[in-house]
Copies of this chain bind each other. A is one copy, B any other.
């Protein structure tokens, strides 16, 4: 039987969720409620700053339409809107478009500014607990990415074990930028790699962490746009050369929402360095080339995969790319995903499209595609409809 009549099981490998700031109160340890109240007071200001990142109109449009915003936290509306886009399952990172984000900034931008580690941990735990409730509302359809603070490695390992238990589909998010803490080549992080490899829990680095303070100039957001992706994939440099992939062949790493144009030239450059005789004594502990470790253990959650990125998919590795809608972020494809899919995937062979649009994410995040097939039959596009 031809697979042409079998709808594609679409899984967005990059979505975001988070409730209105007040909602986190019930998930927070009572010990930090005083600091939480102070943080809430600052959320309005935070919202104003965030608007400067994009056209103010963007957020006005969103926030004037409660329905559109509501999907950021409401499980039912979320399912409806994702299904409207043809998507049956999703991978969920912190920080929706709702003002405030994870309490104390303990989401994607964790460690961007020096924060009391106690608060980072409390904020991340509150979000992770809330995320578990969101995922549990529709079992099998949401992979929750737990935010893991790295100030204390023993605590990080405990949180990772919690995440593995609490989130049947999922992974963890580590801050791409480590702020005042050592960079990721430091041996202090070894227990994290070891634990995630043992638990088969993928480690994500997502754009939005790492860049310095660019001030409040009109052009400041352009500096963030220019440098953000580099800071997001910087950890890969450290993991690669310090031998993390060599020591932990079962570790899986996902580079999320940072484009994929950097992959081919970066790996080519690293392979070239790897092969230079003058560096031979420095890479003695790495029997494989960087591109080989990448092929074995790294995935790219290439949100909003552009036609240009799709054209070089064989150079990156078709099986390395996972599409994402970035729902509900305004820079993502929602609610125009079908049109965007057409622009990027219309001439892609069916098997490759299925891999990039869902099958690879299913394997990475332990989704049961057989169980998702019924929902996909209702909403998923047919291969010929891309």
Interface residue ranges, A against B (CB under 8 Å)? 54-55, 58, 183, 185-186, 212, 214-215, 217-223, 225-227, 230, 234, 237-238, 241-243, 261-262, 265, 269-270, 273, 278-285, 330-331
Contact = CB atoms under 8 A, between A and B. Distances in A.
A330 B238 CA distance: 26
A183 B211 CA distance: 12
A218 B281 CA distance: 8
A146 B230 CA distance: 31
Given A265-B261, A278-B58, A273 B226 contact: yes
A237 B161 CA distance: 41
A173 B54 CA distance: 36
Nearest to A262: B265
Contact of A219 (B225, B241, B262): B241
Contacts of A222: 241, 273, 279, 282-283
Among A215, A222, A270, A278, the most chain B Cβ lie within 10 Å of the Cβ of A222
A316 to B, nearest CB: 14
Nearest to A268: B261
Contact of A223 (B54, B58, B237): B237
A250 to B, nearest CB: 21
Contacts of A227: 234, 237
7 contacts: A183-B212, A183-B214, A185-B220, A219-B242, A221-B282, A223-B241, A261-B269
Given A212-B183, A261-B269, A265-B261, A282 B218 contact: yes
A218 B55 CA distance: 47
Contacts of A217: 185, 242
Contact of A218 (B238, B285, B331): B285
